[in-house]
Each structure stands twice: as C-alpha cells, then as structure tokens.
Structure 1
Amino acid sequence: MEQFSFNQFQDQVDEVLIRHKSILDILSKLQESSAKVNRAVAKSVTHCGCIQIHSQKQGIPEDISYSELKNYMSNHVEGYLCDICKEKIEEEISTTIFYITALCNSFNINIDDMLENYASQVKALGKYGLL
C-alpha cells in the first residue's frame, strides 16, 4: 500500500471540489462540518450512550508545577465510542479536514508545510506554547 501524504490529499481535494469552490462556500461548509462533529459527539452521549461526559472544574492542586499539570487534567469523557459512533465521528472529522484542506488550497497554503511548521513550534515551545 502506498504511503499516504497530505500533499496527495490536498491535490485530491483540489481536483474534486467544484461546487463549493468559493471561499464563502468553503467557510460555511467548514462551519457546518464542525457543527456535525459536535452533533455526532452529542448523539454518542444522548442517543447511543456509549460515552458519558462528566464535566466539572478541573481539580488542580495548588502546589504542583506547570509540568505536572497534565497528570491532573481530565477530558471529562468516560467510556469508549462504539463502532457505529466512532465511524460517524470519523466521517464528520474527515469532512472537516476536507474543508480545512480546501481553505488551504484557496490561500495557496501547502498543508504539509503548514503542519510541519506548527509541529516545529509545538516541539520548540512544548507545553508552554499552548497557554
């Protein structure tokens, strides 16, 4: 099997995106696809019940260092996605990535370069870069 690359995906998106080529269409479809990700997660909780969300204030001891903070943070999700919910959420996230890629194409931004630059920033700044 051939190695997947974002450059190939970016070229595919450029080839197939015809109807929603306008930047306004891309932005509105991106927002719509993001909303569908939110809905799919909500349905996993409220309709399927394979996961639960128990949201509360993060319990952070006062006497820890910033580097220890990760050990005390929660994503508030309990349980695991069933195969059906996982497939639906993956589908919706994939659509969102499609429209992010289309947005990159509109502005002549190479997605591989963009992600490589961002990864370098994250590596250089580490956990302190995302405050």
Structure 2
Amino acid sequence: MKDNTCNEFQATVSQCLVRHKSIIDIITKIQETAGRVNRAVAKSVTSCGCLEVNAKKQQFPANISLHELTQFMETHLKGDLCENCQEVLEQEIGNHLFYLAALCNILGLSLNDIISKENEKLSTLGIYNLS
C-alpha cells in the first residue's frame, strides 16, 4: 500500500486555508515561515545554547573524487537540539510545509508527486545532482 501522508496533508491544508488563500498571501507566508525556521535555528544557538556553530573554511585534499569529498565536508554544527528547541523547530517547519502545500494546491500541483520526482532524481543522480 502506498503511503498517502503527503496527499492527506495537502487535502487537509486545502480545507484549512481560509484567510490566506491569495497567491500573494501564500508566497509571502512561505517567505515568512522560512524566516521563522531560520530564526528558530539561530535561537537554539544564541538563546538556548543547545547548538553551537563553529564555521570555518571547508578543508579537503586537492585531488579527490566528488564521492570522496563527502567524507571531508562538515556541518559546522555541534550539539543536539534540546526538547524545547526541537519542538519549536518542528512547529515552524510544519508551518512552512503548510504553506508549501497551500502553494501546491493553488497551482494545481501534487506535493507528493514533487517529492517523489525529486527523490527519484536524487536516487538516480546521487551526489552528481548539483542543481
């Protein structure tokens, strides 16, 4: 049986979206929710301290393959999300997904199909998918 979580979510969003049904409202809400996700990550570093960012130039040997490169790349992130920060981030990412689903609805797109196509492309091209 095929997992219908995305389809169910998109259908639920179509029933719940009342105030922000205009394409202009939706695209500006996507921008806002993306900012809120970024802010929640920043707050986990600057206010909570459960995460730490130690950013520096990525260092890797000169003559390695693209596949080997993944072994040398860092996230620059130390620590783990605390329970509170995880809850906040899950909520903010959920809100962002809500408006992405709303955008798909208003444009007649299937979020499930988009995710499936992207997954197929990634599975086929792997690390060579640098678009």
- What TM-score, normalized by structure 1, do the two folds share? 0.95
Do structure 1's residue 16 and structure 2's residue 35 form an aligned pair?
no
In structure 1, what is the Cα distance between the partners aligned to 2:47 and 2:85? 10
Deviation track 1:92-117 (CA, whole Å, cap 9, x = no partner) reads 01100110110111110011111111
Aligned CA-pair RMSD = 1.1
**Structure 1 residue 4: deviation in Å?**
5.7
In structure 2, what is the Cα distance between the partners aligned to 1:94 and 1:4? 17
Runs of 4+ in 1 over 4 A off after TM superposition: none
> How many pairs are equivalent?
129
Matches within 5 A, 1:62-77: 62-77=62-77
Deviation track 1:35-87 (CA, whole Å, cap 9, x = no partner) reads 00111111100100001001111111112111111111111110001000011
Identity among equivalent pairs (%): 43
List gaps (5 residues or longer) in structure 1. none
List gaps (5 residues or longer) in structure 2. none
In structure 2, what is the Cα distance between the partners aligned to 1:4 and 1:65? 38
Aligned to 1:80: 80
Matches within 5 A, 1:1-131: 5-130=5-130
